[in-house]
């Protein structure tokens, strides 16, 4: 997925907003077959859903507000932004897969590629075993259905 981000941004200049969701609190479930607590696949979707939060921590409720704010502004405007001035401005990633928004207990725009070691392994395997996408840069790109695209890790 990160390779596709690099290709699209590099060839077409598409604005793609990259993030890493790692928020957990004391009520977060443990990862399957472990006693480790961590954000699971799709946790970022679950936090924006309507559900009973009467037993949720204040940290959870705050993260829910933040995620809903970013998502709603992405839906309405084509880019994730927040009405909260204390939160960082979320800028699109470049072809080097940076920056990305780190959405954990702290909300930080990081100027580094997320999961760089794993991405390097997949890049190496791709270079060795696959032909890259054919991108025609001599024609006008087909407009995206939305002004931006979100990508989660």
Q: Which two tokens stand for residue 97?
A: 């897969």
Beta strands 149-152 and 107-110 are: unpaired
Instruction: Single out the residue of 93, 44, 46 nearest to residue 70, CA to CA.
Output: 44
Q: Does the pLDDT of residue 86 top 80, yes or no?
A: yes
Q: What is the pLDDT of residue 137?
A: 66
**Is residue 65 a part of any domain in this protein?**
yes
- Whether residue 141 is contained in a domain is answered as no
Its sign, for the CA torsion 144, 82, 19, 10, is: positive
Q: What is the number of domains present in the chain?
A: 1
111 pLDDT more than 80? yes
Handedness of CA 17, 39, 1, 100 (dihedral sign): positive
Task: Classify residue 14 by its DSSP letter.
Answer: -
Residue 100 within a domain = yes
State the number of CA atoms in the 13 A half-sphere of 59 facing the CB: 11
Whether pLDDT at 153 is above 90:
no
- Asked if pLDDT for residue 13 goes beyond 90, the answer is no
**Quick check: is 142 in a domain?**
no
pLDDT digits (tens, 9 = 90+) for 43-85: 999 999 988 999 999 999 999 999 999 999 999 999 999 989 9
Instruction: Identify whether 140 is part of a domain.
Output: no
Domain containing residue 106: 2-134+147-152
| pLDDT tens, position by position, 15-45 | 999 999 999 999 888 888 999 998 988 899 9
CB 51 within 8 A of CB 60: no
Average pLDDT, the chain: 86
> What is the C-alpha to C-alpha distance for residues 72 and 82, in angstroms, rounded to an integer?
9
Is 38 part of any domain?
yes
Q: Is residue 139 part of a domain?
A: no
**CA 101, chain centre distance (Å):** 7
Nearest to 22 by CA among 82, 108, 111, 83: 108
Percent of the chain at pLDDT above 90? Answer: 51
Examine residue 60 and state whether it is found in any structural domain, yes or no: yes
Q: What distance in Å separates the CA atoms of residue 10 and residue 112, rounded to the nearest whole number? A: 17
């Amino acid at each position: 997925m990160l390779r596709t981000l690099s290709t699209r941004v590099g060839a077409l200049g598409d604005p793609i907003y990259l993030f890493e969701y790692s928020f957990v609190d004391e009520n977060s479930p443990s990862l399957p077959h472990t006693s480790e607590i961590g954000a699971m696949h799709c946790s970022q979707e679950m936090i924006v859903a309507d559900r009973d939060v009467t037993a949720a921590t204040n940290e959870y409720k705050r993260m829910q507000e933040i995620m809903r704010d970013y998502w709603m502004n992405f839906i309405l405007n084509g880019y994730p932004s927040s009405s909260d001035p204390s939160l960082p401005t979320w800028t699109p990633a470049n072809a080097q897969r940076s920056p990305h928004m780190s959405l954990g207990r702290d909300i930080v725009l990081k100027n580094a590629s997320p999961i760089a070691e794993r991405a390097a392994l997949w890049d190496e395997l791709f270079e060795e075993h696959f032909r890259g996408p054919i991108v025609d840069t001599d024609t006008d790109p087909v407009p995206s259905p939305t002004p931006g695209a979100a990508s989660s890790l």
